[in-house]
C-alpha cells in the first residue's frame, strides 16, 4: 500500500480566512488532508489546521519533490515555528523507546521539511542503523536494505558544504562497524580535526589506532566481511583465514571468522573462533552474544546464560541480549524467567517480533 493512498485534496473553503498565522493561502492550490473515506465523503466540518499540517508532513516524508512541496514547507514553518524542534524531540524519544516505524516517518518528514538540513539526515541515518541491527538476525534482506539507506544518506550528506563535525563521527563509527575501515579512518580523522568534544575526540583516536594497528584496512579483511554480509559465508571464511594467517592476533579477524561459521551453523568451530577473539581482544557485547548463541546451540546453557548476563551488564537495554536470555531460560525450562525476559524486551521495544512470538507461544495463542 502506498503511504499516501489516504491523502485527499480539497479546495480552500470559502469561509476560511486566507491569512493564517502570517501565511497567505493560495486559493488556486488544493489543501491535503488524510482521510479513509475519500474526497467525496469527507466532511468539511471536520477540517482542522492540525489535519492539514499532518497531511503536508506525510507528503514531505514520502514525496519530498511534490509540486507543492515548497508551499507546504513555507506554510508549516510560518504557522508552526516550533514544530521542527518538537518533532525532532518526539522522533528521538520514539527511537529510544524502540518505536522505530513511527520515528522513521517523523525523521523522513523532518528531512522533507528541511531538505538541506544535515542533522536531520544524520538522525535518519542513525535510525536506519538501528533498523539494520534489529533485522540482522531475522531478515538479512531487510538489514541490508537499511544499510543501503544509511550509505545513500551519508553519500548525500558529504556531498554538501559545511558538514558538521558530528556527522563525520557518526559516519566513522558506521563505516568501522560495517567493514569499511578506509572510509572510517577518513571520517574519524576529520572529526579529530574539526570536533570540539575532547572525550569524543579521544574515543575517535582510540578507534583510529585500533584500525591502523590491527590492519583492518587489509583487502582480505574487507572482502571477508563483505562476503559474509552478502550471504557468501564460505567465500568469506576462506578470505578471513587468509587474513588470519598473516595477522593471527587480530581479534576482529577471529570475530569475523566466528560470525561466518555461526551463520553456517558450525557452532563448535564458531565457538572456538569467538573464544580466540576474546583471548586477543576486549570482552565486547557483540562477541559475548555470539559466543552465547554458539554455547546455547551446543547445549552449554549455563555458559550461555553467564555470557549473556555479562553482556547485559554492559548494555542493560540491549533487546537482542535480553531475548537470548529468554530463549536460554526456555531451554532450561525456566518458563517464568523466560516470560519475564520477553516482557522486558517489549517494554523497551513493543514491536519486537521475537519476544512477541515467544510470548504468544508461552500463552498458548
SS3 of 304, please?
A: helix
**Does 114 fall in a domain?**
yes
What is the pLDDT, as a whole number, of residue 28?
A: 87
What separation in angstroms does the CA of 202 have from each of 87, 207, 224? 32, 9, 29
73 and 150 in a common domain: no
Q: Cα–Cα distance between 357 and 365 in angstroms, integer?
A: 9
What is the pLDDT, as a whole number, of residue 38?
A: 59
What separation in angstroms does the CA of 110 have from each of 3, 57, 60? 16, 8, 8
Q: Which residue has the cell 585500533?
A: 210
90 and 202 in a common domain: yes
CB 55 within 8 A of CB 32: yes
89 and 206 in a common domain: yes
Helices (H) then strands (E): counts for the chain: 18, 4
Q: Cα–Cα distance between 94 and 139 in angstroms, integer?
A: 22
> The CATH number of the domain where 209 resides is what?
1.25.40.10
Query: CB-based contacts of 152: which residues, under 8 Å, 6+ apart?
Result: none
E strand residue ranges, the chain: 7-10, 19-20, 23-24, 31-34
Of 158, 164, 169, 77, which is closest to residue 126 (Cα–Cα)? 169
State whether the Cα torsion 275-272-219-136 is positive or negative: negative
Average pLDDT along the chain, 365 residues, taken 10 residues at a time: 82 76 84 74 73 93 93 91 92 82 93 91 90 72 86 90 90 85 90 92 87 70 84 92 88 92 95 94 89 95 95 86 93 92 87 84 74
Q: Residue 9: what are its φ and ψ, rounded to 5°?
A: -125, 130
172 and 136 in a common domain: yes
What would the grid cell of residue 97 be? Answer: 523507546
Q: Cα–Cα distance between 65 and 55 in angstroms, integer?
A: 15
Q: How many CA atoms lie within 13 A of 217 on its CB side?
A: 13
Tell which of 34, 52, 79 closes a domain.
79
E strand residue ranges, 84-236: none
What is the pLDDT, as a whole number, of residue 145?
A: 87
What is the pLDDT, as a whole number, of residue 61?
A: 94
Helix axes 219-229, 251-263, angle to 10 degrees: 30
**Does 132 fall in a domain?**
yes
Q: Cα–Cα distance between 57 and 212 in angstroms, integer?
A: 44
What is the pLDDT, as a whole number, of residue 84?
A: 93
Q: How many other CB atoms are found less than 10 A from the CB of residue 190?
A: 19
Cβ burial, residue 352 (10 Å; 0-12/13-18/19+) = buried
Q: Cα–Cα distance between 233 and 276 in angstroms, integer?
A: 19
SS3 of 9, please?
A: strand
**Does 295 fall in a domain?**
no
What is the pLDDT, as a whole number, of residue 180?
A: 81
Residue numbers of the domain that contains 35: 7-79
108 and 203 in a common domain: yes
92 and 59 in a common domain: no
Domain count, the chain: 2
Q: Which residue has the cell 516550533?
A: 82
Predicted TM-score of the model (pTM): 0.68
State whether the Cα torsion 252-177-214-235 is positive or negative: positive
**Does 328 fall in a domain?**
no
106 and 20 in a common domain: no
Tell which of 179, 213, 247 closes a domain.
213
Q: Cα–Cα distance between 265 and 252 in angstroms, integer?
A: 20
**Does 358 fall in a domain?**
no
Cα distance from N-terminal residue to C-terminal residue, the chain: 28
17 and 106 in a common domain: no
E strand residue ranges, 274-356: none
Amino acid at each position: 500500500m502506498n503511504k499516501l493512498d489516504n491523502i485527499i485534496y480539497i479546495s480552500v473553503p470559502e469561509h476560511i480566512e486566507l491569512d493564517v498565522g502570517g501565511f497567505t493561502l493560495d486559493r488556486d492550490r488544493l489543501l491535503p488532508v488524510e482521510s479513509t473515506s475519500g474526497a467525496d465523503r469527507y466532511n468539511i466540518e471536520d477540517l482542522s489546521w492540525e489535519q492539514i499540517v499532518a497531511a503536508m508532513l506525510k507528503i514531505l516524508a514520502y514525496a519530498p519533490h511534490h509540486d507543492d512541496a515548497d508551499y507546504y514547507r513555507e506554510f508549516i514553518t510560518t504557522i508552526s515555528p516550533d514544530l521542527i524542534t518538537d518533532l525532532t524531540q518526539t522522533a528521538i524519544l520514539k527511537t529510544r523507546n524502540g518505536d522505530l516505524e513511527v520515528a522513521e516517518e517523523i525523521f523522513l518528514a523532518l528531512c522533507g521539511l528541511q531538505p538541506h538540513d544535515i542533522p536531520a539526515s544524520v538522525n535518519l541515518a542513525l535510525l536506519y542503523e538501528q533498523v539494520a541491527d534489529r533485522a540482522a538476525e531475522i531478515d538479512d534482506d531487510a538489514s541490508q536494505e537499511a544499510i543501503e539507506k544509511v550509505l545513500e544518506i551519508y553519500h548525500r550528506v558529504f556531498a554538501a558544504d559545511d558538514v558538521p563535525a558530528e556527522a563525520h563521527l557518526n559516519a566513522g563509527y558506521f563505516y568501522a562497524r560495517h567493514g569499511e575501515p578506509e572510509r572510517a579512518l577518513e571520517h574519524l580523522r576529520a572529526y579529530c580535526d574539526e570536533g570540539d568534544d575532547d572525550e569524543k575526540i579521544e574515543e575517535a583516536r582510540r578507534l583510529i589506532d585500533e584500525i591502523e594497528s590491527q590492519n583492518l584496512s587489509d583487502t582480505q579483511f574487507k572482502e571477508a566481511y563483505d562476503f559474509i554480509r552478502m550471504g557468501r559465508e564460505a567465500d568469506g571464511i576462506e578470505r578471513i583465514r587468509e587474513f588470519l594467517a598473516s595477522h593471527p592476533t587480530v581479534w576482529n579477524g577471529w570475530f569475523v571468522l566466528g560470525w561466518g561459521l555461526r551463520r553456517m551453523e558450525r557452532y563448535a568451530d564458531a565457538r572456538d573462533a569467538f573464544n580466540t577473539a576474546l583471548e586477543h581482544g576486549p570482552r565486547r557485547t557483540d562477541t559475548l552474544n555470539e559466543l552465547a548463541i554458539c554455547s546455547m546451540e551446543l547445549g552449554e546453557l549455563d555458559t550461555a546464560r553467564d555470557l549473556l548476563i555479562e553482556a547485559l551488564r554492559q548494555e542493560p537495554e540491549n533487546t537482542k541480549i535480553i531475548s537470548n536470555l529468554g530463549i536460554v531460560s526456555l531451554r532450561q525450562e525456566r518458563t517464568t524467567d523466560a516470560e519475564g525476559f520477553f516482557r522486558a524486551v517489549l517494554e523497551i521495544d513493543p514491536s519486537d517480533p521475537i519476544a512477541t512470538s515467544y510470548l504468544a507461544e508461552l500463552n498458548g495463542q
